[in-house]
Amino acid sequence: MHKFLAGTLLFLVLTVLSQVGGLILWACWHVCRYRLFPDEARRWLAFLASTAAYVAVTLLFVPLLAGLFGRVPMPLFATSEAPVAPRSLFFCLLNRHYVKPEVKELVLTTARQMAKDYSGSQIHYLDGGFPYGPKFPMLPHLSHADGRKIDLSFCYEKGGKYTVSPSPIGYWVYESPKPGEPAPHQGKPSWFRWDLPVLQGVNRDRQLDEERTKHLLRMLLKNPGTEKILLEIHLQERLGISHPRLRFQQREAARHDDHLHLQVK
Ligand SMILES: [Zn+2]
């Protein structure tokens, strides 16, 4: 009985996190456990085989059907032609890297220009959207359901060299307001803003690369396809950048000081 409950819970969690991941894992486990390796003693073999099948189906089969829903996957790995990569491969394994083609094109165009202007630059993305349909809620980013939004990492440097965000998943290690900078959210607890103080010391030898991040914002804002970018007001002030399409949310908003939120027309 407890195995059934654990399986159901895993199915539900994977469905919430990845839309079709629960279904894929259930199908893979069913085939491997009961068809390929029916012997009780081979349970671990079935576990390994079903995990491998999950990864293969997720990365090879799901993208094929996503096209029917007008979604394309963002690149899995950065190349010189497409210097764009997920901050963590888990975004891809959970099917959270699907967007409208125009979003992918805008990010790729910007990344190529960034790589020309600042050698070695790459754009690292976080949550995009799910592969199938605009009705399935994507937690905790409900607005991402339409495939027109994607979260991008800021640029960081360590010892004068370009590097990735301090947080291994891009979220939750943020740039707090410095003394004198506007802090409209300070002292106003919200369900949408998690302070997570215990994580704020993670990889803090990596500093926000203000010049490169400002350039990234400029490139994105220059593109007529960009409808809106969300960035906390204190970072707009620190970077010295303002634009009618560069906004921040005053009330009941998720943090936008650990990443920027890009919305494409
Ligand atoms: Zn977002």
* Whole-number percent of the chain with pLDDT over 70: 96
> What's the average model confidence in pLDDT over 235-257?
87
Q: What is the Å distance from ligand 1's center to 94 Cα?
A: 16
- Give the residue from 114, 209, 129 showing the smallest Cα distance to 165: 209
Distance, CA of 173 to CA of 255 (rounded, Å): 10
Distance, CA of 122 to CA of 110 (rounded, Å): 10
Q: What is the Å distance from ligand 1's center to 80 Cα?
A: 26
Q: Rounded to 5 degrees, what angle do the CA atoms 175, 198, 196 make?
A: 60
Q: What is the Å distance from ligand 1's center to 246 Cα?
A: 14
Q: What is the Å distance from ligand 1's center to 262 Cα?
A: 7
Q: What is the Å distance from ligand 1's center to 263 Cα?
A: 8
Res. 44: pLDDT tops 90: no
Q: What is the Å distance from ligand 1's center to 116 Cα?
A: 26
Q: What is the Å distance from ligand 1's center to 142 Cα?
A: 9
Q: What is the Å distance from ligand 1's center to 144 Cα?
A: 6
pLDDT at 255: 84
Q: What is the Å distance from ligand 1's center to 150 Cα?
A: 6
pLDDT at 78: 95
Q: What is the Å distance from ligand 1's center to 254 Cα?
A: 8
> What's the average model confidence in pLDDT over 207-229?
96
Lowest mean pLDDT: which of 33-42, 155-164, 168-177, 213-222? 33-42
Q: What is the Å distance from ligand 1's center to 146 Cα?
A: 12
SS3 state of residue 196? coil
> What's the average model confidence in pLDDT over 150-177?
92
pLDDT at 251: 65
- Give the residue from 201, 100, 215 showing the smallest Cα distance to 148: 100
pLDDT at 150: 97
Q: End-to-end CA distance of the chain, in Å?
A: 49
Res. 198: pLDDT tops 80: yes
Q: What is the Å distance from ligand 1's center to 35 Cα?
A: 41
Q: What is the Å distance from ligand 1's center to 140 Cα?
A: 9
Whether omega before 177 lies within 30 degrees of 0, making that bond cis, reads no
Q: What is the Å distance from ligand 1's center to 139 Cα?
A: 11
pLDDT at 46: 79
Q: Are 231 and 256 in contact (CB under 8 A)?
A: yes
- Record the tokens describing residue 90, joined without a space: 């888990």
> What residue ranges define each of the domains in the chain, with the CATH number in brackets?
2-68 (no CATH), 71-264 (3.30.1380.10)
What pLDDT, in 10s, does the model give residues 93-138? 999 999 999 999 999 999 999 999 998 899 999 999 999 878 788 8
* Whole-number percent of the chain with pLDDT over 90: 53
pLDDT at 142: 80
> What's the average model confidence in pLDDT over 188-206?
80
- Record the tokens describing residue 47, joined without a space: 């576990």
> What's the average model confidence in pLDDT over 201-206?
87
Quick count: other Cβ atoms within 10 Å of Cβ 210?
17
Q: What is the Å distance from ligand 1's center to 229 Cα?
A: 9
Residue corresponding to tokens 């012997």: 39
Q: Are 221 and 110 in contact (CB under 8 A)?
A: no
Query: Which phi and psi angles does 227 have, rounded to 5°?
Result: -90, -40
Burial 154-190 (b: 16+ CB within 10 A, else e): bbbbeeeeebbbbbeebbbbbbebeeeeeeebeeeee
pLDDT at 16: 87
CA distances in angstroms from 12 to 6, 15, 20, 23, listed in the order given: 10, 5, 10, 9
Q: What is the Å distance from ligand 1's center to 260 Cα?
A: 7
Res. 41: pLDDT tops 70: no
Q: What is the Å distance from ligand 1's center to 149 Cα?
A: 6
